Amino acid sequence: MESFKNQMSSERAVQQVLAQYVRAVDKQDGDMLSNLFTADGKVEIYDFNAENPILLFTLNGKNEIANAISTLMLPHPKKGWSHHTTHDHIISVNESDAEMDAQFIRFDSVGATKPENGWPSGTIGLMGTVTPTESGYYKPSLKKIEGEWKMVTHRIYHDLTFAFPE
């Protein structure tokens, strides 16, 4: 794997960080996620607000980032999972600094449970639901440190409105 990384273009290596990010979020693995950031990295969450973003909150440092994913997110339901997809990556690299702008959609999938009496006659194929639950833009800034790309600031612009408890 290491020799493959050495052959990868800088743009592709930067894109791989986002691919690892979405997998860590889907797994709700805070340690895996926080290791993609610099020690003082941060996540800024915005309401995109029709291209007039409003900062909602910031997670500062690896511990806050790990905690938010591992303990603040609701766990996946039984037979459930989330899948983040990213699209149309715009990446610029300047030596050891990089910027990315990628669209994202999160889908939640929940597999159906087989009925006690079995599936109805003629039932075939995949059973369950897939529901889009988030969309927006990921705009991370990255720095290459000791040969590895790390997120310095990861800005998330949500298209949908956040509701917070009073």
| 3-state SS string for 65-129 | HHHHHHHHCCCCCCCEEEEEEEEEEEEEEECCEEEEEEEEEEEEEEECCCCCCCCCCCCCCCCEE
pLDDT higher at 75 or 5: 75
- The domain defined by 2-158 folds into Nuclear Transport Factor 2; Chain: A, (3.10.450)
- The reported pLDDT for the residue numbered 6 is 60
- The reported pLDDT for the residue numbered 139 is 98
What is the average per-residue pLDDT within 73-100?
93
CA distance 145 to 159: 32
Rounded mean pLDDT of the chain?
92
Q: What is the pTM of this model?
A: 0.89
